[in-house]
Structure 1
Amino acid sequence: MTMTLATTSRPASRRSTKRTTATRGPGGSDIDVRLVARSIAQAALEVLAGTRPVLQLSRSLNEECYLSLQHRAALTRKHAVRTRGNSQPHRSPMVRSVRVCSISESICEASIVVAEEQRCRAVAMRLERLDGVWQVTALEIG
């Protein structure tokens, strides 16, 4: 089951082949976008597994992504109980790799591979820096 949470198209003028992952955050410290993407992907899959409340991602996801993840988590749990009698459909998600491509200084796209007990999943996200904080504006979980 593939999930599309939010999609946005970007104009050709915003595309770039520049590959940087560290950016200046508030106070001048370097923030590695790969670490941000990794933690958000891990947390999103834990939400789907039912081991983390979706509320913990409220600052990291824009409203559309947050509501879509919340809805999918409810559907996933409901389906798991109905088909397997198990309220935890996914267990032990672990991030295996993260790739980030900078679109601009304040926009990055990331692809993440996450391994679970029975399978591997792909997660794609678009992160935008708003007021010095990275926020996911598009999220797809395969």
Structure 2
Amino acid sequence: MDDLAEVRAIARSTVQAAMEVLAGIRPVHQLARRLDPRCLAALQHRAALIRRELNRTGNPALARLHRNSTVRSVRVCQVSDGVYEASAVVLDDIRARAVAIRLERSKQVWRITELVIG
């Protein structure tokens, strides 16, 4: 598999998994090997904020937030040797959102060094 196809597949699966973390149906530690520590901590913090607000308000819209997320498209471009950036469009029960990620190769392993979920 060439780098572009591999990065596209990693981006798609990582974005899907991140949305499942935010929906509360996947534990964040499953992404520990793919995300750098800062991205992992930020994702964990956002998921905790969603859970806390849901428990505090009982808002049914929050319960549906990030549910049934589907990655609709992924676009990838090479920034430099061993560095790619990707954008994805994700649909869930409530809305469509954009996700941006940066992947860097380190010791033959791709790591997500930036993860921004709109």
Partner of 2:26: 52
In the aligned structure 1, how far is the partner of 2:70 from the partner of 2:35?
Answer: 20
Runs of 4+ in 1 over 2 A off after TM superposition: 80-83, 85-90
Partner of 1:111: 87
Instruction: Give TM-score, length-normalised by structure 2.
Output: 0.90
What is the deviation of 1:62?
0.4
Q: Which runs of 5+ in 1 are unaligned?
A: 1-20, 24-29
In the aligned structure 1, how far is the partner of 2:106 from the partner of 2:73?
Answer: 25
Secondary structure at the counterpart of residue 66 of structure 2:
coil
Tell me the number of residue pairs that the alignment of Structure 1 and Structure 2 aligns.
116
**When you count helix as a share of all residues, which structure comes out higher?**
2
- CA 1:54–1:124 in structure 2 vs 1: closer, same or farther (change >3 Å)? same
What is the deviation of 1:22?
3.0
What is the deviation of 1:75?
0.3
- The reply to whether residue 39 of structure 1 matches residue 13 of structure 2 is yes
In the aligned structure 2, how far is the partner of 1:112 from the partner of 1:31?
Answer: 15
In the aligned structure 2, how far is the partner of 1:93 from the partner of 1:87?
Answer: 13
Higher Cα radius of gyration: 1
1:11-65, Cα deviation, whole Å (9 max, x unpaired):
xxxxxxxxxx932xxxxxx852111000000000100000000000001000100
What is the deviation of 1:77?
1.2
What is the deviation of 1:87?
5.1
- Which of 124, 127, 132 pairs up with 2:103? 127
Partner of 1:91: 67
- CA 1:46–1:96 in structure 2 vs 1: closer, same or farther (change >3 Å)? same
In the aligned structure 1, how far is the partner of 2:82 from the partner of 2:2?
Answer: 11
Secondary structure at the counterpart of residue 100 of structure 2:
strand
In the aligned structure 2, how far is the partner of 1:98 from the partner of 1:140?
Answer: 14
Secondary structure at the counterpart of residue 40 of structure 2:
helix
Instruction: Give TM-score, length-normalised by structure 1.
Output: 0.75
Do the aligned residues in 2 keep the contact of 1:81 with 1:87 (CA within 8 Å)?
no
